[in-house]
Structure 1
Amino acid sequence: MKNANLLHNPTAGDNDFSEKQLVKQIEAEGFNCEYSSVKEEGWDQFKTETDFLIIAGGDGTVRRVAKALMARKRLDKQYPLALLPHGTANNIATALQISGKPKEIAKRWHEVHLQPFDIGKVYGLKDDRFFLEGFGYGVFPRLMKVMEKIEDEIGDTVEEKLKAALAVLYDVVLNYDAKECRVEADGVSYSGKYLMVEVMNIRSIGPNLVLAPAADPGDGELEIVMIPETQRKKLETYILALINGEDKEFDFTTVRAKNITLRWEGKDMHIDDERIKLENPAEVRIEIQPNMLQFLITKRTDQ
């Protein structure tokens, strides 16, 4: 594969993540590189001769490209995706074990595997939606709500933003009122009062919260993480460990399923990094749609 289309979020970083530097580093590896800014109209008009798409940005940019690909017709050409992660959390790149400087990552594209990547399809809202990372209720959409209000008050660096998000999340967990939720996972029912319920396609969400360490985005199943009110202290301890930079893993109640129905007795939810406010509690159905995307990786995630 020689012909690449670089899809760049120009607001994600500078210096080695500028248009000029990225194109130079990619072409130095022998690839023909066409540049498109995802901030400009027409960026999603992909050419037939393009062999693969390169996404330079964070998780939000990956989702934006995925949305454009999902809108294409079944018979249209489908494109493998390569990542140059440069966001705040980079949860998708981490799930795919993609890290390093752009020039280091580009070198690996000569010998790659194609990693299938599932999506979660969401039914029951005004419009059918999908997620790459996760869908959920409880403390996480509450965190998003608070962070929207203080966005201008937090630092500029990745480290400062992640630390601020974790500090806010800790406060949210201390004060959040658990809510009733009914979950049906492949015909098996669960119910109770929960601080959060997350349906996850990858191992982490938000400020690198690893809630489903065994999650595989290409295995055809989703992981449902349910943290009841009785595990509030455990969740607090986990967040404190992250704030203090401690490398510890915490296991929470998790079940795997392909078809899921949820009813949360609250009005806030999220789909990836988007917070959604409902007028009234609603029943939502989620189903896995396998192998909807393919990513270039240098090592199979199941090895």
Structure 2
Amino acid sequence: MRILLVHNPKAGSEEHEGEDFIKALKRAGHKATYQSSKKKGIMKALKKKIDLVLVAGGDGTVSKVARRLVAMDSEIPLAVLPMGTANNFARSLGFCLSEKELIEQLNHGKCNTFDVGQARGPWGKRYFFEGAGAGLFADYMRAPKRDGKKDEPKSKAEAMRRHVKELRRRLQTYRARQWEIEVEGSDLSGRYLLWHAMNIRSVGPVLTLAADAKTNDGSFDFVGAREEDRALLLDYFDARVAGKRRKFPLRPKRLTKMRLRWTKWPLHFDDELWPAEDGKPPQQCEIELIVKNAALRIWRIE
């Protein structure tokens, strides 16, 4: 196959990893070209004659490439070499093999569709793939991290545990905020500790909020925790910190369209904040989220 490798050179730990991937792809019989995710030219590279886009990076890099494919209305499928910390996007798509195994099995993949979220608001239009949300997690993304000067975690699992522990600490005193929310014509407005519109099962530090979410069913899952759900959330975080498996205690609601109206508070789309960390939230805002069925192609490795 003609493969475009889009690589985040800051992800992973090995030097010259991009070159290693290109060599491995060529050994597997593919015609491979390289594009750094940190340099200009991604859109131009995607317009060339290629059969597959292989993204080597974390969730942010995958989303960056996927947005361009959707904007182009492209039918070129995307595959992932997960190199981030959480890798929620890659894991939800089934990309769990080692780098060597995945490259060796690319010829045996199949093209599947993937639903995409579209948000319309003051910025115009933007796409998202994992989910959108607000409240505890979005505020945590914006806030300075308490443990920034501690020793580096020894593993990805330890890094995730630290994030969950800090979220749990913040939840104890976190103030629920008022959101006007309409899902499929139903008024779900109220004071929320957090809410998320989920395309994949997990958000942030592998918090599985929608265990039954599917990425090709034409709908997202809305999960919301109100003030009266605080104790349930604390128990869930306690279980996660202890390394126990615990199903998220709140039942999701399916959605294809969602309207929001709120004041000041930030949102997140995938792993990006809106407004950006150095931006100022609008005094009042209204947006619409819709699900675009099968807007992205994924090369799944069986």
Shared fold, TM over 0.5 = yes
Alignment partner, residue 281 of structure 1: 284
Partners of 2:21 and 2:292 in 1: how far apart?
33
Alpha-carbon spacing, 1:148–1:272, altered in 2? closer, same or farther (3 Å): farther
* Aligned partners of 1:123 and 1:129 also within 8 Å: yes
Q: Per-residue CA shift, 1:197-236, capped at 9, x if unaligned? A: 1111111110001001111111110111011111111111
1:215 partner amino acid: A
Name which of structure 1's ranges 200-209 and 255-264 shifts more when overlaid on structure 2: 255-264
Say how many residue pairs are matched: 295
Alignment partner, residue 36 of structure 2: 37
Q: Per-residue CA shift, 1:220-277, capped at 9, x if unaligned? A: 1011101111111111111121122112222313111111112235522111111224
One of 117, 121, 127 as aligned partner of 1:120: 117
Alignment partner, residue 278 of structure 2: none
Alignment partner, residue 298 of structure 2: 295
Alignment partner, residue 53 of structure 1: 53
Alignment partner, residue 12 of structure 1: 11
Q: Does 1:71 align with 2:71?
A: yes
Partners of 1:141 and 1:238 in 2: how far apart?
18
Q: CA deviation at 1:151?
A: 4.9
Unaligned runs of 5+ in 2: 276-280
Q: Per-residue CA shift, 1:51-103, capped at 9, x if unaligned? A: 1110000100011102222332x4xx531101101101100111112112111
Name which of structure 1's ranges 152-161 and 36-45 shifts more when overlaid on structure 2: 152-161
* Aligned partners of 2:102 and 2:301 also within 8 Å: no
Q: Per-residue CA shift, 1:16-47, capped at 9, x if unaligned? A: 88112212222222111111111122133125
Partners of 1:155 and 1:163 in 2: how far apart?
13
Partners of 1:244 and 1:149 in 2: how far apart?
20
Q: TM-score, normalised by structure 1?
A: 0.90
Alignment partner, residue 91 of structure 1: 88
Partners of 2:26 and 2:148 in 1: how far apart?
37
Unaligned runs of 5+ in 1: none
Alignment partner, residue 222 of structure 1: 220
Instruction: Specify the SS of the correspondent of 2:213.
Output: coil
Q: TM-score, normalised by structure 2?
A: 0.91
Q: Where do 1:64-213 residues align within 5 Å?
A: 64-72=64-72, 74=73, 78-147=75-144, 151=148, 153=150, 155=152, 157-213=155-211
Partners of 2:122 and 2:207 in 1: how far apart?
26
Partners of 1:17 and 1:194 in 2: how far apart?
46
* Aligned partners of 1:226 and 1:252 also within 8 Å: yes
Alpha-carbon spacing, 1:190–1:248, altered in 2? closer, same or farther (3 Å): same
Partners of 1:55 and 1:229 in 2: how far apart?
40
Alpha-carbon spacing, 1:150–1:271, altered in 2? closer, same or farther (3 Å): farther
Partners of 2:34 and 2:6 in 1: how far apart?
6
Identity of aligned residues (%): 31
Q: Per-residue CA shift, 1:157-212, capped at 9, x if unaligned? A: 42343222112211121111111222211112222221111111111110001001
Partners of 1:65 and 1:120 in 2: how far apart?
15
Partners of 2:220 and 2:125 in 1: how far apart?
18
